[in-house]
A and B are shown apart, each in its own frame.
Chain A
Amino acid sequence: MGEELKPEQKPEEQRPEPAAVRIEPDLGFIKQVSEWGGGDLKTCFQCATCAVVCPLSPDVNPFPRKEVLWAQWGLRSKLVADPDLWLCHRCNDCSEHCPRGAKTGDVMAALRSYAYQEHATPRFLGRLLNQPLALPLLLAFPALVIWAVITKGGSFAIPAGEVAGLSSTYWGKMIEPWPWLDLSFIAAVGFVLISFYASVKKLWQGFMASGVQPDLKPKLTIPQALVKAVTDILFHRKFAECGAANARRSAHLLIFFGFAGLAVTTALVFVGMYLFGLKTPLPLGHWIKILGNASAIAITIGLVLTIVRRLTPGAATVRYGRGAYQDVLFLGVLTLVVATGIFSEVFRLATLHDLAYGTYFLHLTFVFFLLFYAPFSKLAHVVYHATTLTWAYHVGRALKTLPVDARVQAPVEAAKQGQ
């Protein structure tokens, strides 16, 4: 199959001359990307070390050199349609090996921040998510929704004298109209799915038209490609190929599976409540509860590792990246979701019910935030990476067919060993 994937090489003289491309640099775009952590994009002098050391870069039109070049020239539309932004796992091998000390990995991250915004449906939400000044407004919306749902029945009151920490009536009283709450979340999920569908469709069409992969003949069917992409993601196979930031793989795995576990827990509880009359809160020994708590522990460890690495100054900053606003926002909200979730459980068990109520309210707000804004925030990366990887397997862009030169591979391997 590897043979098949090689690009068709035509002799130079037979190749028809390509049409001239009209270039119109977008100064605003360059400024925006620079502000979002891509400030090093002008440092590049086109040596292509980055594209050579990158373990994930394909042989044809490799990244991230061309992305940096396009960014230098302000070629906004080319970058927005570029599939390679999403093939990048921010290993930061490029940043580590850049002879001019550019943080190429950070430039790629900044470009992704821009792309989230551009692919967002509706787009204004994408813009707002990238705008620090809009954060209070963005936070206010889920807070109001939860508040409105809770106060609908006028029952958002702390039940007097109730101290039965394990009583199921306890939570039910706090948020009397459960269906209202669930309906609002269901509506949010519906909105998110529609939004993602539109974005993914746009993304896929953009990839096809981008010209980044000249040979678009399908190499795998879409379902086959999807299976490969999903298994890659489950095992973090691409992450495993990274050099400099290889250590991120374990932290990301913890967050990924912790998050998935919590999502599954939530779904099970929902189904259980409506179909099997499951009463919450569940006892600590219940298998669903155990799944939830274990997931919470996993994601907590993953988040702590990530945050500590990001905040460590020096070489680690190059290795793990500085993080653009979108990254920080996502990490922050995710941390708050997990923290408020854990603390509301802890406070409930400790029967500190004032605190438990308040924390649970915040937890619901942050969960709504995370869910509702998913297509416009960094959480969308789950969908975009999965889509891109599927597309890449589909058209044969996800496989390296040429061997990597040992002289190049050695430092990458050494960097991996050094973790």
Chain B
Amino acid sequence: MENAKLGLYLCSGCGIGDAVDVPKLAATAEKYGKPAVCRTHACLCSAEGVKTIREDQAREGLNTLCLAACSPRVMTEVFDFDPRETVVDRVNLREHVAWCSKPKDEDTQALAEDYLRMGLTRAKRMELLKRYESETVKTILVVGGGIAGMTAALEAALAGYEIILCEKSDRLGGFLGKLSSRFPHTAPFEEPEPPPTAALADAVLSHPRIAVRLSTTVESTAGQPGQLDVTLKSAATSETIRVGAVVMATGFKLYDPKKLGRWGYGLSPNVLTCEELEHQLAANVLRRSDGRTPRSVAFLLCAGSRDPEHLPYCSAVCCRVALKQALQIRRLSPETKVYIFYKDLRSPGRHEDFYRHVQADPGIFLTKAELREVRPAKDRARGLEVEVSGTALGERLVVEAELVVLATGMQPATEGDASHLGLKYRQGPDLPTIEHGFPDSKFVCFPYETRRTAFYTAGCVREPMDSDRAVEDATGAAMKAIQAVELTGQGRALHPRTGDLSFPDFFLQRCTQCKRCTEECPFGAIDEDEKGTPKPNPNRCRRCGVCMGACPERIISFANYSVPMIGAALKEIEVPDAEDEKPRIVVLACENDALPALDIAAMNRMQLDATVRFQSVRCLGSLNIVWIADCLSKGIDAVLLLGCKFGDDLQCHFIKGSELASKRLENLQETLGRLMLDANRIRLEQVSIMDFHRIPEIVNAFAAEVREMEPNPYKGF
């Protein structure tokens, strides 16, 4: 900041004073940073310590603070300065120096000095934050009127929010609402019970803050959280409303049984799906196509589920649905035998009691089995026969079945359907999917999230689940939607940088319209005009900095986080001469997992090689390659990147940040070649927060390798 008035505060508590010479450190830093105020304190986080800072601020008009004490992850309530009035950089002398290094060692002292210089440099380059002002609304749109949608609407309405609930059909209730019973969800978990949807629909319809729009679909959604303009379409009208956040609970559809060859659907009208049988049972009917009551019924579970050729996953409810239907069949027709052929019967928790209850019926025959074939019986009048193998009874069995019921699995309702939201986003009209077409973020720590800010999914559109879990899911999604409208209204970021006021600033005069930022943003936050110039939507932004890392022109910056700022800080690392045989290694560590893991390692007093200098980044995706080039050209011997796991089982908080970083590293090879440097000097390691015990090992092993290498030939240039 141009008119920065800097205060430097060093804490000697928590063992810092025992590990480094704090007065000497203060003297060096003072000479280097020339702060208006420089103080050391035995316990900076005490009421007295904080009071000293506040008094200095009032007296000297300090607007920039460099606090050299503990990790920025702790004592956040104590060192709580309004970022719109004061710039704060916290130098981690405790976890990164005192707790992980040899005390009173010259290398430890040098480590602390480097960190202080880096901190002072960052602090001086930070700007005060400005709140992003936008007129927002807090209305929440719920799409889908099934059990999940109704629950989300009711929960958010009860919390005081205005809700618009739009439902495609002409009635509320969804799939469950069409059934006469569901499998038991209450003790003693024995008899089918009526679904709770009718009572829920009454509560929703009579709630004053819920506006229900039946026979209505979403045609398009434009804008950004807090200002989403949604066009609702019904038969007669089309109307645009403004909402703050959206819960999508559009449910599931059953896998098309016609795709299941040997399961025999279409072979005879007496091969049904569970859904078709449910319609019969709802009317207290059980009959074959010729009107007679079947004397035997065979249920084939996992019909296409957990099958790589069809749906590779489990749909969670089919086993219990079949058990319920078997019981209903036996009640309707006690002479009818019911076979249930399963892969693994899944009836978890207290639902085991339901399984036992059904199993006790002497006319229900259960066995593990692999289906071989459904075919017409030799005596056609007897209907069909089912051949299975791998049963407890023997290798291959054949049973006669006058009715065959296929328990087909769930797919998200969005699959193969017209867009349910019609997003007018540069990255497409739908919520991105990761696996099997379910629009789930796969965010490790945050269910209900999608990869579109302020859009949450609940119920079976997110993942196959039973009705109890759908209620839980919807309640969670409603809570997330409330957080979204509230934080967006304050111009603050949502999870995981919750409350962050910073937002990316685009210096568009220098933009080359390369579109990398609009393509790489994990949340689709940036649209673009016809020419390809980015049009940022700050309320969609999660502040990860992936755009900043992507931009080859380096025109995207945050007021408190930018390419030049980190670059300048890295340049402050003092590189000893090659003869000193003290290599220097920079570790760029993701603040979401790697950095907390390092803090935990330090709490356990795990020792780190003193050649290593940590610099935290918001996400490895914000890594700009120029930082590495800068380090190497300055004589830093190696750079280690610590980011989250990517690939199928990704753990990245911003979905693909670490993956993008690894791609950018590939592009770096050419630069390294030009510099005549070994590619081994740059490495990316994937770690999670639970790897804290492993991280010192990774860092120290890398340092040992680097010691074996020739020193960086650019030292001293």
Contact = CB atoms under 8 A, between A and B. Distances in A.
Interface string A61-73: 0000000011011
A18 B395 contact: yes
A286 interface: no
A72 B365 contact: yes
Contacts of B505: none
Contact of B392 (A19, A22, A27, A69): A69
B396 A21 contact: yes
Interface string A152-164: 0000000000000
B681 interface: no
A20 B362 contact: no
Contacts of A244: none
Interface stretch (A3-11, A41-49, A123-131): A41-49
Q: Which of B362, B363, B387, B400 has the most CB of A within 10 A?
A: B362
B102 interface: no
B394 A45 contact: no
Interface residues of A, number: 23
A42 B360 contact: yes
Given A23-B398, A27-B335, A73 B393 contact: yes
Given A27-B337, A69-B393, A20 B387 contact: yes
Contacts of B365: 25, 72-74
Nearest to A33: B362
Q: How large is the interface on B (under 10, 10 to 19, 20 to 34, 35 or more residues)?
A: 20 to 34
Interface in B254-274: none
Contacts of B398: 20-23
Given A27-B363, A42-B362, A20 B396 contact: yes
B399 to A, nearest CB: 5
Given A25-B337, A42-B361, A18 B396 contact: yes
B359 interface: yes
A362 B210 CA distance: 87
A225 interface: no
B400 A30 contact: no
Contacts of B394: 18, 21
A210 B362 CA distance: 25
A30 B396 contact: no
Nearest to A44: B359
A24 interface: yes
A34 interface: yes
A332 B221 CA distance: 85
Nearest to B355: A45
A17 B395 contact: yes
A31 interface: yes
B397 interface: yes
Nearest to B372: A20
Nearest to A18: B395
Interface in A58-102: 69-70, 72-75
Contacts of A46: 392
Interface string B369-394: 00000000000000000010000111
Contacts of B335: 27
A73 B392 CA distance: 11
B393 A23 contact: yes
A49 to B, nearest CB: 14
Contact of A34 (B356, B362, B367): B362
Given A30-B362, A42-B362, A23 B396 contact: no
Interface of B: 335, 337, 356, 359-363, 365, 367, 387, 392-400
Given A23-B399, A34-B362, 17 more contacts: A17-B396, A18-B395, A18-B396, A20-B387, A20-B397, A20-B398, A21-B396, A21-B397, A22-B397, A22-B398, A23-B393, A42-B359, A43-B356, A69-B392, A72-B365, A73-B393, A74-B362
The 8 A-B pairs at the shortest CB distance, nearest first, are namely A20-B396, A30-B362, A22-B398, A20-B398, A42-B360, A18-B395, A23-B399, A23-B397
25 contacts: A17-B395, A17-B396, A19-B396, A20-B387, A20-B396, A20-B398, A21-B393, A21-B398, A22-B397, A22-B399, A23-B397, A23-B398, A23-B399, A24-B399, A27-B335, A27-B337, A30-B363, A31-B362, A42-B360, A69-B392, A69-B393, A72-B365, A73-B365, A73-B367, A74-B365
